[in-house]
A and B are shown apart, each in its own frame.
Chain A
Amino acid sequence: MTTGTQAPRVIANSYTAGKLPRWTPWAVLAVALVVSLGAAAIMGSPEGEFNWILGIIGGVVLFVFANWLLSRLVEGARQATNRLITSLVTGAFVLALIPLIWLTLTVVVNGLPTFLNGTFLSQSMRNVVGEGGGALHAIVGTLLITGLAAVISIPVGLMTAIYLVEYGTGRLAKGITFFVDVMTGIPSIVAGLATYAVFALIFGEGVRMGFAGSVALSILMIPVVVRSSEEIIRLVPNELREASYALGVPKWRTIAKVVLPTSIAGITTGIMLSISRVIGETAPLLIVAGFTASMNYNPFSERMMSLPVFVYTQYVSPGTDAQFYFDRSWAGALTLILIVALLNAIARIVSHYFSPKTGR
């Protein structure tokens, strides 16, 4: 057994390179933060001030540099660049997340007590001075106005998108695309003023009604619906249309039974996003729907409150004991965010159930 006594030959693998353990970035981050926060504490100590924001920023900068340097020394230039870019991209993501979390937290903290006080969701502001009262009139108004806007915008927008993708050729389609793009950029106040001008011509000066608000919101909403639906419908493979034509199915039925069902998930998401886009509009509603403290279930006459306008009026014209008005303002903002979140959740569920199945 001569072979058994031989030691295994060790061959250097030419593909190996230096490699830092997986936990290295976290360790470097922790050390960098401790160092930076410590430095901030020492520098701030004579005045007795501890600037922790500066400490964190310094720590992150230190981490990015130290991580790069360490990797450069151990792993080489390519890996170091990789780690540097990873740090920057992750940093950008965290930076974008900070305002979002901060905003949500602030609204919840300031708005939740009033939101849950029992009267906020069950009463209007009629004859309320100071404590109590609620936003029921604004919630109803927002739902009615936005709902009507959706009823106007979804058919118009969806059919425009279908025209552009399935039928539109030549100058008319190009013109529509151009004006839809232009309409996407219309400032909301302009939409409000234009709608007011039209309604003033019909109903006379000083007209205020919820339906006018719906029309103003539609002007803002239609281009968003058109754009998103158009992109989604364009994604439906031509092969499916051809398959349907080859079965002797007419074009309109192909669109209704093949193209739209295939793209319904994306279309729903687009429509929900467009609703979220207009539900928070303040300026046009301030002009054409006005504001009021009373309930109004009829969108075709009289002023109608909406949540964004409620938030605005509670804040700008607090009565006696201003704190109650500010609290209601925060609670109104919270309600609006919750409605939008709810709509997005519904959109998720809808697109989950309607999207093409892939299972076996």
Chain B
Amino acid sequence: MSKRIEVRDLDVYYGTFRAVEGVTLTIEPRTVTAFIGPSGCGKSTFIRTLNRMHEVIPGARVDGEVLIDGNNLYGPGVDPVLVRRQVGMVFQRPNPFPTMSIRENVLAGVRLNNTRMPKQEADELVEKSLMGANLWNEVKDRLDKPGSGLSGGQQQRLCIARTIAVSPEVILMDEPCSALDPISTLAIEDLIEELKTEYTIVIVTHNMQQASRVSDKTAFFNIEGTGKPGKLIEYDDTTTIFSNPSVKATEDYVSGKFG
């Protein structure tokens, strides 16, 4: 159920500004891949191109190829909606739908796509998704309460439950823990570890300990200066990146000597 992602020579532009330049990498199925690098180096921009979410930003466009199991996301006639049903995304700030209850939030992806679902089946999906997000025990007695009443960490896990409820192949996480406390962060990291058995996971993080804890492979992005495009500097096994990187800049960054 998870898929291989191949990126070939990808450039991302905002209008005429080239934000990311020449990224080529391959993400294996059932792995966790972490993107690290300083702010503004294009990690978030790049991860958004993996499910065409960058198109939501006016003026953003892409050169190059992203292949998911051989299907080019940027080929002619590709419907971004179909892409996003395969490649789910969790955002930096928890964003449950404020008008919906916890249950409705989990079912949002299904209901909003107008799929009719019998109550029995919907109940099972809610339970399975919330179980999958390690949230079931905390909210099973208040499924009809608003999702915005949960704590930040619970909201973020609710957003993950919502994402896995539509059974995607790939889950992208854009700094999912940056707004959370250490306990909630730990809960999410445990969850990532479990989700890895079924999904391909890509995570952007500023926390290098987190990258070393959760990921199998790490990609280091860097930027030469303001106004310059971000580049993929090094992409290797996480242990290699953190212990024996081949590029000086990577070593400086992961050891804290940077800047």
Where the two chains meet, the residues of A that have a C-beta atom closer than 8 Å to any C-beta of B are: 169, 237-250, 253-254, 257-258, 261-262, 356-360
Say whether A356 contacts B146, CB under 8 Å: yes
Nearest A residue (CB) for B147: A357
Question: With contacts A246-B89, A246-B91, A262-B99 known, what are 16 further pairs, Cβ within 8 A?
Answer: A239-B91, A242-B91, A243-B97, A243-B162, A246-B51, A246-B88, A248-B83, A249-B109, A249-B112, A253-B113, A258-B99, A356-B146, A357-B98, A357-B146, A358-B146, A360-B150
Q: Find residues 77-101 in chain B having any chain A CB closer than 8 Å to their own CB.
A: 80-86, 88-91, 93, 95, 97-99
> Which chain B positions have C-beta within 8 A of A262?
97-99
Contact of B56 (CB < 8 Å), options: A242, A258, A261: A242
Note all chain A residues with C-beta closer than 8 A to B109: 247-249
Which residues in A have their C-beta under 8 angstroms from that of B56?
Answer: 238, 241-242, 245
Report the bound CA distance from A356 to B85 in whole Å. Answer: 26
For B84, give the chain A residue with the smallest CB separation.
A248
Q: List the B side residues contacting A359 at CB < 8 Å.
A: 145-146, 149
- What residue in chain B is nearest A257 (Cβ atoms)? B112
- Considering only CB atoms, which chain A residue lies closest to B150 in the complex? A360
Within 8 A of A (CB), among B151-165: 159, 162-163
Contacting A240 at CB < 8 Å: which of B95, B149, B150?
A: B95
List of A residues within 8 angstroms of B95 by Cβ:
237, 239-240, 242-243
What 4 A-B pairs are tightest by C-beta distance, nearest first?
Answer: A248-B85, A356-B98, A247-B109, A360-B149
| Least distance between A83 CB and chain B CB atoms (Å) | 40
Are B99 and A244 interface neighbours, CB within 8 A? no
How many angstroms from the CA of A55 to the CA of B3 in the assembled complex?
Answer: 85
Q: How many pairs of residues, A versus B, come closer than 8 Å at their CB atoms?
A: 94
* Residue B125 is within 8 A (CB to CB) of chain A in the complex: no
Report the interface size for chain B: residues with CB under 8 A from the other chain: 36
Contact B148 A357 (CB under 8 A): yes
Whole-angstrom distance between the alpha carbons of A254 and B113 in the complex?
A: 9
Q: Which of the residues B81, B99, B159 comes within 8 Å of A243, measured between beta carbons? A: B159
Question: How far does the Cβ of B61 sit from chain A's closest Cβ, in whole Å?
Answer: 14
CB-nearest residue of chain B relative to A265?
B99
Q: Which chain B residues lie closer than 8 Å to A357 at the CB level?
A: 98-99, 145-146, 148-149
Shortest B93–chain A CB gap in Å is: 6
> Is the CB–CB distance between A245 and B163 below 8 Å?
no
Which residues of chain A come closer than 8 Å to B150, judged between CB atoms? 360
Assuming the contacts A239-B91, A257-B112, asked whether A247 and B166 have C-beta atoms less than 8 A apart, the reply is yes
Does B53 make an interface contact (CB < 8 A)? Answer: yes
**Chain A residues with Cβ under 8 A from B80's Cβ?**
245
With both beta carbons as reference points, the residue of chain B lying nearest to A249 in the complex is identified as B112
> Please, which residues of chain A bring their CB within 8 A of the CB of B112?
244, 247, 249, 253-254, 257-258
- Quick check: B149 and A246 within 8 Å, CB to CB? no
Task: Please name all residues of chain A whose beta carbon is closer than 8 Å to the beta carbon of B86 when the two chains form the complex.
Answer: 248
B108 on the interface (CB 8 Å rule)? yes
Give Cα A237–Cα B98 distance, bound, in whole angstroms: 11
Interface pairs (26), CB distance under 8 Å: A169-B58, A237-B95, A238-B56, A239-B93, A240-B98, A243-B95, A243-B159, A244-B108, A244-B112, A245-B53, A245-B80, A246-B53, A246-B90, A247-B162, A247-B163, A248-B109, A249-B81, A249-B112, A253-B113, A254-B112, A258-B99, A262-B97, A357-B98, A357-B99, A357-B149, A360-B145
In the assembled complex, the CB of B9 is this many whole angstroms from the nearest CB of chain A, namely 25
Q: Which of A237, A246, A249, A254 has the most CB of B within 10 A?
A: A246
Contact of A247 with B108 at beta-carbon distance under 8 Å, contacts A237-B95, A242-B91, A262-B97 already known? yes
**At the interface, yes or no: B114 with Cβ under 8 Å from chain A?**
yes
Report A32 CB to chain B, min CB distance, Å. 50
B149 to chain A: closest residue by CB? A360
Cα(A244)–Cα(B148), bound, Å? 16
**CA A239 – CA B91 in complex, angstroms?**
8
Residues of A within 8 A of B163 (CB): 246-247
Q: How far is the CB of A82 from chain B (nearest CB, A)?
A: 37
CA A169 to CA B56, docked complex, whole Å? 13
Chain B residue contacts of A249, Cβ below 8 A: 81, 109, 112-113
Q: With a CB–CB cut-off of 8 A, which chain A residues contact B146? A: 356-360
Across-interface contacts of A242 in B (CB, < 8 A): 53, 56, 89, 91, 95
Contacts of A356 in B (CB 8 A): 98-99, 146, 148
**CB closest residue in chain B, given A248:** B85
Chain B nearest CB from A225 CB (Å) reads 21
Closest A residue by C-beta to B109: A247
Q: Which A residues lie within 8 Å of B91 (CB)? A: 239, 242-243, 246
Q: Are A245 and B84 in contact (CB under 8 A)?
A: yes
